[in-house]
Amino acid sequence: MNWPVLKKSTAILGLSALSVVISSQVNAGEITVYSALEEDEIASYLEVAKQELPDVKINVLRLSTGDLGARLIAEADNPQADVVWGFAVTNILNPQISDLLEPYAVAGGAELPESYRAPDDRWFAATGYMGALCVNTERLAEKGLPMPTSWEDLLNPAFKGEIVMPDPSSSGTGYLQVAAILQGLGEEKGWQLIEDLDKNMAQYTSSGSRPCRMAQVGEYTVGASLSFVAMKSIEQGYPLKMVLPSDWAGFELEASGLMAGSDNKEDAKKFLDWTLSSSATDLYSQYKSIITVPGVPASPLAEQAGLPSDLSQVLFPMDFAKSGNERNAILDKWKSTVGR
């Protein structure tokens, strides 16, 4: 995808449907933040940041994971962002992107377990998300379908046209689901499962949350999506059951970092520090099923949805470096194998 190369003077507000400006002070500092977080959570976080960073004007450009990575690479010679916030660590590990980041020892970062931060401080991950199947129980019963518990179960011909999932080319959620299957089964068997699953797939979406939202209203029976969207849907009263696949339940970390080409590194650092402050981390349980910051309680929605307290019991141990290194090759094969 060819993104237009912008000058720093370009109004970032015109680039995004969600661009939140904090502070109207004429002399305020200003930073541009690129993020793959969901729009509703960005708005919630920044509402609090408004009170704690009153001298910083924050412009947010929200893009899907795949589009954000493409934009960063396209702008490599003329960076527009000061901060990358909540971006899939699999993508950040791509040297074309990680080389654009400057090491910064964020305040509070030392408290994160080593597996949730870069050894050279180029990135840190305070949150993460996991894949889940959103199953509409009413439609399941109407269609006389068995409750799926795994990816293998979805190969049942009875599910033909009843499943939707995110396209891994544009969605980080879609990519983590495909990567987990390939890492769990190996190349040959993994791609065979993906090809067989495609026979039952109604469509692929560009958004990781959309499949669950489609399932929650009964448009389809199964939406391969995000666990937190499933938990929120259950809380809201939709006839939905969240299923973590017993085979290859993938997950992803959401990483943040300082852009080396930033024109305002001091304010960018203030913002990054804020993302690990107690004010920020207290909000994470409202939106996240994976929180890496020690001492932050899990979401109350997790218990309601049946999510175990020890996620290591259900999550496939993802090799993020492998996911990052093989991403382009996997997406190329996806396009030639599934490609629709």
**Looking at the domain assignment, is residue 17 inside a domain?**
yes
Is residue 44 domain-shared with residue 142, that is, in the same domain? no
Task: Judge whether 86 and 36 are in contact, CB under 8 Å.
Answer: yes
Q: Tokens in use for 131?
A: 């894949």
pLDDT at 300 over 80: no
CATH number (domain holding residue 20): 3.40.190.10
| Residue type at 91 in one-letter notation | N
**Res 324: pLDDT:** 86
Residue 4 lies in a domain: no
> How high is the mean pLDDT of the chain?
88
Lowest mean pLDDT among 14-18, 71-75, 110-114, 127-131: 14-18
User: Looking at the structure, do residues 327 and 180 belong to the same domain, yes or no?
Assistant: yes
Q: Is residue 1 part of a domain?
A: no
Same domain, yes or no, for 29 and 94?
A: yes
Are 143 and 244 part of one and the same domain?
yes
> What phi and psi, each to the nearest 5 degrees, are found at residue 255?
-105, 155
Give the Cα separation of 8 and 333 in Å (integer): 37
Q: Average pLDDT, stretch 258-283?
A: 96
Q: Give the ranges where the chain is alpha helix by DSSP (H).
A: 39-52, 65-74, 89-92, 95-98, 137-143, 172-185, 187-198, 210-216, 227-235, 265-274, 278-284, 300-305, 320-337
Q: Does residue 183 lie within any of the structural domains? A: yes
Task: Give the closest residue to 233 by CA, choosing from 308, 311, 303, 134.
Answer: 134
- The confidence score (pLDDT) of residue 296 equals 84
Report the pLDDT value the prediction gives residue 170, as an integer from 0 to 100.
87
Q: Is the pLDDT of residue 26 over 60?
A: no
Q: Which domain holds residue 144?
A: 129-249+303-337
Q: Tell me the pLDDT band of 72, cut-offs 50, 70 and 90.
A: very high
Shared domain check, 273 and 239: no
Beta-carbon-side half-sphere exposure of residue 68 (alpha carbons within 13 Å): 31
For residue 27, tell me if it sits in a domain.
yes
Amino acid at 327: R
Residues 135-169 as b or e (16 or more Cβ within 10 Å = b): bbeebbeeeebeebeebbbbeeeebeebbbbbbbb
In the chain, % of residues over pLDDT 90 = 69
61 SS3 class: strand
pLDDT digits (tens, 9 = 90+) for 112-155: 999 899 999 999 999 998 899 999 999 999 999 999 999 999 99
Structural domain contains residue 294: yes
> Do the domain assignments include residue 313?
yes
Q: Give the integer Cα–Cα distance in Å for 196 and 132.
A: 19
Measuring CA to CA, which residue among 284, 258, 232 is closest to residue 45?
284
278 in the same domain as 239:
no
Backbone angles phi, psi at 218, to 5 degrees: 85, 15
Q: Are residues 104 and 174 in the same domain?
A: no
Q: Rounded distance, CA 151 to CA 154, Å?
A: 5
- What are the tokens at 271? 């913002």
* Together in a domain, 119 and 202: no
What pLDDT was estimated at residue 302?
72
In the chain, count of helices (H) and strands (E)?
Answer: 13, 11
53-63: per-residue pLDDT in tens? 999 999 999 99
Residue 37 shares a structural domain with residue 107: yes
Tens of pLDDT along 160-206?
999 999 999 988 899 999 999 999 999 999 999 999 999 999 999 99
Q: Are 233 and 320 in a shared domain? A: yes
Query: Do 138 and 239 contact (CB within 8 A), yes or no?
Result: yes
- The total number of structural domains that make up the chain: 2
Around Cβ 211, how many Cβ atoms within 10 Å? 30
Sign of the C-alpha dihedral computed for residues 119, 124, 126 and 127 taken in this order? negative
The answer to whether residues 206 and 318 belong to one domain is yes
What span, in angstroms and rounded, lies between the C-alpha atoms of 226 and 188? 26
Q: Could you tell me if residue 239 is inside a domain?
A: yes
Question: Is the entire prediction scored with pTM above 0.85?
Answer: no
Largest CA distance in the chain: 63
Q: Are residues 123 and 133 in the same domain?
A: no
The band of 285, judged by pLDDT with boundaries at 50, 70 and 90, is confident
**Mutual orientation of helices 187-198 and 172-185 as an angle, nearest 10°?**
130
As a whole-number percent, the residues of the chain with pLDDT over 70 amount to 91
